[in-house]
Amino acid sequence: MKIQNTLSNSQATYVEKRAPTIHDDGSMLYSAGDVWQVDGEAHTCLYPNADHATWQADLGLPQRPGDQFISSLAAAYGTTRQVSSYTGPLLDVIAARSSGSLAIPIGQDGEGYLSRSELTAAQAGVPAGTPLYVAKIYDQSGNGQHMTAPGYDGTAASIAVWNLPRVGQRRHGKVDLVSWAPEPAAPQPLNLPATLALSASSASVLLYGAVSSCNCPLYTVYSLLGLGSAAGQAVTLTVGGGAQTGRLTFSDYNAGTVLAGSSRTLNVHQGLIGMALGGNDSLTLHVPTIYTASQKLAMGSGFSARQFTGGVLGGAPAGGGNSSALQFSGLILLKSAVSDADVKAAYTDACRLYDWTPQIRNRLDCFGSSTTQGYLNKDGWCWPQMLGDYLEKPFEVRSVSVAGSKASDFLNLTLANILADAADSAQLRRRHAITWYGNNDVNGGQSIATIVANNALIHQKLRAAGYEKLFILGQYNAALNAAIRQAVADGTIDADAFIDPWSAAPMSNHGDRALYHDGTHPTEAADRLAASFIARAINAQLGN
């Protein structure tokens, strides 16, 4: 171990590219215990003293997720090697070739990543634009608890590929990700076997991945994973809870039956969600890449007596609803309840193994509807997740967006939770936001005056909560667009910039099906154009 207390890198270098220095102190929003990762080395803040911060670097080798918990390991899944002794395949994919579909196992390369050469070979003969579909994720624990698509028997003929997650479409660094499509796609579940048994009195779940948007509408629920196979003997992790809360929520067998809501909102980046079940009819939720403290949730009388058999990734045990837009890299299931220290160690090692950078203190929140969410896109693609490719400074980006949402919905259902985050002294960030509300409002018959007033109120409340820069996007409706633009110009809406990607070519052509699925919802290509356009305006505002 060593103590970092000298200025060894230029302070002008952005934080994701350098080691911490004495100037990365409390004034820069760092606290004791914060983690900083660069070049595979993790640093922990010991003392955030002004202009003399002390950081400690861990030079030991990081443990793979399954190795850390090997004594209580029930199952381990991933697109990388989770257990160091495991040498078998990671996935079965379905290659939908013109000559006939094939089920093909995909193994590891020498470093334990999903084999790129085997993925490339599997893709041979598959028509251009057609992905590889995931039918099986192998259990690396040695317990044989392999995760499979419903009905999959090892052959391509046993399943339809259209309701399967995909691989090869999303990556984070060297890590290939399994990706799920959000609404309106049907759920794409991968089932945990009925032979997998866990108890709510002593179990843990560690889910590694990212979610494109942390919210869901009132008419459905977006599910990440569930344990169990019967009502009263299950628990499901969802986003938004079917109530547009913007929070992680826990439900029963049916995702619409809420057991407990949390005060945790995800960002769009790769990270860790931990669930520790240790008795007392409670569950402890960890989101350590964002929230330094865990949250203990009361789950209702009798919860700890539940016995979970089987489960599902990318859905709810009862089916129905929709999959969350998950980009998955790993899942660890344990027969014991992990401690806060266990999760901190797992999170710190994951930062080093997978190149996560939790030291970023600029946050950019994206609030909007389906056109922000990435509706109709596959693999979770959306412009908020693409912004990082074009922003000149690093940002932690959150997308709290959902299909059908109006400015009035955000005011009534979501904003209070966003303001609570802003007031959380343990969640230190320099906050900025982009809002895009109005398309659904005007299409639903609201007057332009009402829409302008609601947007003005949203911005007023965000500014009062300490948001530094506020941006508002243009509207498809010409009259509403002009009214929003004018309201920003005359100060009715408190915004630092009005950004309008949609009125400029080529985005102004809503009939171009390369850019809009249906004339309204941007394609992946259009979202990338929008991200570049929006980031350029933000870069100018932030003085890059």
Q: What is the CATH number of the domain that holds 471?
A: 3.40.50.1110
* Percent of the chain clearing pLDDT 90 (strictly above): 94
Residue 377's SS3 state is coil
Do 154 and 72 lie in one domain? The reply is yes
Q: CB of 166 within 8 A of CB of 379?
A: yes
Query: Higher model confidence: residue 6 or residue 339?
Result: 339
Sign of the CA dihedral with 346 first, then 352, 356, and 359 last: positive
Domain boundary among 320, 354, 388: 354
**C-alpha distances out from residue 67 to 266, 334, 427, Å:** 26, 12, 30
- What pLDDT does residue 98 have? 85
Residue range 417-434, pLDDT digits in tens: 999 999 998 889 999 999
Rounded to whole angstroms, the Cα distance separating 148 from 314 reads 12
**C-alpha distances out from residue 34 to 6, 25, 396, 421, Å:** 18, 11, 15, 18
Query: Residue type at 466?
Result: G
Beta bridge partners of 237: 225, 250
Q: Give φ, ψ of 131 to 5 degrees.
A: -85, 180
Rounded to whole angstroms, the Cα distance separating 188 from 94 reads 14
Query: Higher model confidence: residue 63 or residue 542?
Result: 63
CATH code of the domain containing 81? 2.60.120.200
- What pLDDT does residue 3 have? 35
Q: CB of 307 within 8 A of CB of 324?
A: no
Residue 289's SS3 state is coil
Do 347 and 370 lie in one domain? The reply is no
Q: CB of 344 within 8 A of CB of 228?
A: no
DSSP 8-state symbol, 480? H
Nearest one of 192, 428, 436 to 331, comparing CA atoms: 192
Nearest one of 12, 22, 97, 94 to 53, comparing CA atoms: 22
Q: CB of 78 within 8 A of CB of 90?
A: yes
Question: Which residues have CB under 8 Å from 162's CB, separation 6+?
Answer: none
Q: What pairing do the DSSP bridges indicate for beta strands 326-334 and 175-179?
A: antiparallel
- What pLDDT does residue 13 have? 67
Over 80: is that where the pLDDT of 199 sits? yes
Rounded to whole angstroms, the Cα distance separating 334 from 311 reads 14
Do 469 and 374 lie in one domain? The reply is yes
**C-alpha distances out from residue 32 to 29, 35, 236, 291, 533, Å:** 10, 9, 33, 13, 38
Domain boundary among 326, 354, 382: 354
The answer to pTM > 0.85 is yes
DSSP string, 316-342: -TT--SEE--EEEEEEEEESSPPPHHH
Tokens of 78: 């991933």
Question: Which residues have CB under 8 Å from 449's CB, separation 6+?
Answer: none
Residue range 151-182, pLDDT digits in tens: 999 999 999 999 999 999 999 999 999 999 99
Nearest one of 461, 526, 453, 542 to 492, comparing CA atoms: 453
Residue range 89-138, pLDDT digits in tens: 999 999 999 888 999 999 999 999 999 999 999 999 999 999 999 999 99
Kindly report the average pLDDT of the chain as a whole number.
95
Do 400 and 341 lie in one domain? The reply is no
CB-side exposure of 427: number of CA atoms within 13 Å? 23
Q: What pairing do the DSSP bridges indicate for beta strands 430-436 and 362-368?
A: parallel
Tokens of 1: 């171990």
Over 90: is that where the pLDDT of 1 sits? no
Rounded to whole angstroms, the Cα distance separating 179 from 181 reads 7
Do 92 and 42 lie in one domain? The reply is no
Q: CB of 459 within 8 A of CB of 483?
A: no
Do 98 and 225 lie in one domain? The reply is yes
- What pLDDT does residue 4 have? 38
Structural domain boundaries, residue 401: 362-541
Residue range 34-85, pLDDT digits in tens: 999 999 999 999 999 999 999 999 989 999 999 999 999 999 999 999 999 9
Residue range 368-393, pLDDT digits in tens: 999 999 999 999 999 999 999 999 99
Q: What is the arithmetic mean of pLDDT over 327-331? A: 98
Rounded to whole angstroms, the Cα distance separating 354 from 341 reads 20
* Percent of the chain clearing pLDDT 70 (strictly above): 97
- What pLDDT does residue 542 have? 87
Q: CB of 44 within 8 A of CB of 34?
A: yes
Q: What is the largest CA-CA distance in the chain?
A: 66
Spatial strand order of the sheet with 2-4 comes to 2-4, 54-58, 41-47, 35-38
Residue range 12-40, pLDDT digits in tens: 468 999 999 999 999 999 999 999 999 99
Residue range 439-475, pLDDT digits in tens: 999 999 999 999 999 999 999 999 999 999 999 999 9
- What pLDDT does residue 263 have? 96
Over 60: is that where the pLDDT of 5 sits? no
Q: What is the arithmetic mean of pLDDT over 290-299? A: 95
Do 14 and 142 lie in one domain? The reply is no
Tokens of 144: 């044989």
Q: What is the arithmetic mean of pLDDT over 314-321? A: 96
Do 519 and 390 lie in one domain? The reply is yes
Do 300 and 378 lie in one domain? The reply is no
Do 403 and 471 lie in one domain? The reply is yes
Domain boundary among 328, 354, 380: 354
Q: CB of 264 within 8 A of CB of 282?
A: no
Do 334 and 432 lie in one domain? The reply is no
Do 331 and 391 lie in one domain? The reply is no
Q: How many domains does the chain have?
A: 3
